[in-house]
Amino acid sequence: MEAPRLRLRLPFLLLVALVVSPPANGWPPVAAAARRMRIEPLPTAALRRLYDTSNYGKLQLNNGLALTPQMGWNSWNFFACNINEAVIRDTADALVSTGLADLGYNYVNIDDCWSNVKRGKGDQLLPDPKTFPSGIKALADYVHGKGLKLGIYSDAGIFTCQVRPGSLYHEKDDAAIFASWGVDYLKYDNCYNLGIKPKDRYPPMRDALNSTGRQIFYSLCEWGQDDPALWAGKVGNSWRTTDDIQDTWKSMTDIADKNNKWASYAGPGGWNDPDMLEVGNGGMTFAEYRAHFSIWPLS
């Protein structure tokens, strides 16, 4: 993977904001309308809630992780299912060579399609032998050798979204194999969930991960269906607050608007997740991507 291309496919969350300049043809209609709006001051109670930090660290999962929001790279938005171990190794190399690792981008996360279509002996998850022939343990060792951390993907359903084996009812065994491979992060999706409520499906994997003795960042991806900001702080280290992002200005601004009300529920140990950055994938202008990159730290 070319380093300049990676530089544009920036990761999840960043703790800095960039100065946003208007595009050459003027601000988009949504922004122009916002500039014309009269901004009313928030009620005192709302202001108190917005800036109330008294519960930070108390409501969140206490596994020693996520003192700041996660930063790194995820394979899905650009590669989707077209992934292999070479892509992951090259990405780890690029994070280091571009200096992004020094800025805190330390997670290299494999999304869906890494696993074989069927479980192996003893119902054990297996990597796809065609795309990950060296196995996940060897890949984790390589990533760790770069001073980075490896993330993996599974689903709180019977299948993943791309119909690979899910972890519902296999939480303990799957958590154990992830830990044995040296995995540092789990993105846990919401497909094929048999209609079981997220509040019932996500805690078992939390317990299974914690029982391994390995610190594994637990990222809930239940699409914001049951307002996870209200309950997921004791379950995971981050929680998706909306459906999947699309590489459009409308999708990005809609998600930003929806995240506003959940700001006070995040804090060290557990964070709102507005979904991954789309920066560099081609669906927005450069100025819109700058706005996207600047807004996400506030979400």
Contact between 112 and 189 (Cβ < 8 Å)? yes
User: What confidence tens digit (pLDDT) does each residue in 12-68 have?
Assistant: 333 333 333 333 444 344 444 444 444 455 555 544 554 555 554 445 677 889 999
Angle of helix 198-211 versus helix 171-181 axis, rounded to 10: 40
Mean pLDDT confidence for 91-106: 97
By C-alpha distance, which of 256, 167, 158 is closest to 218?
167
Mean pLDDT of the chain: 85
Q: What is residue 30's predicted lDDT score, i.e. its pLDDT?
A: 40
Predicted confidence (pLDDT) per residue in 143-199, tens digit: 999 999 999 999 999 999 999 999 999 999 999 999 999 999 999 999 999 999 999
**Which residues touch 21 (CB under 8 Å, ≥6 apart)?**
287, 290
Sign of the Cα pseudo-torsion (243, 247, 253, 259, in order): positive
Q: Is 189 a catalytic residue?
A: yes
Residue from 136, 125, 132 nearest 168 by CA: 125
Pairing of strands 185-189, 217-220: parallel
Q: What is the pLDDT of residue 260?
A: 85
DSSP 8-state symbol, 214: S
Residue carrying structure tokens 């003893």: 122
Q: What percent of the chain has pLDDT over 70?
A: 80
Question: Active site residue: 173, 226, 244, 254, which one?
Answer: 244
Confidence of residue 263 (pLDDT cuts 50, 70, 90): confident
Domains for the chain: give ranges and CATH numbers: 72-244 (3.20.20.70)
Q: Work out the pLDDT band at 215, boundaries 50, 70, 90.
A: very high
- State yes or no: is 90 an active-site residue: no
Q: How many CA atoms lie within 13 A of 198 on its CB side?
A: 23
Catalytic member of 111, 189, 273, 275: 189
According to DSSP, residue 15 is labeled S
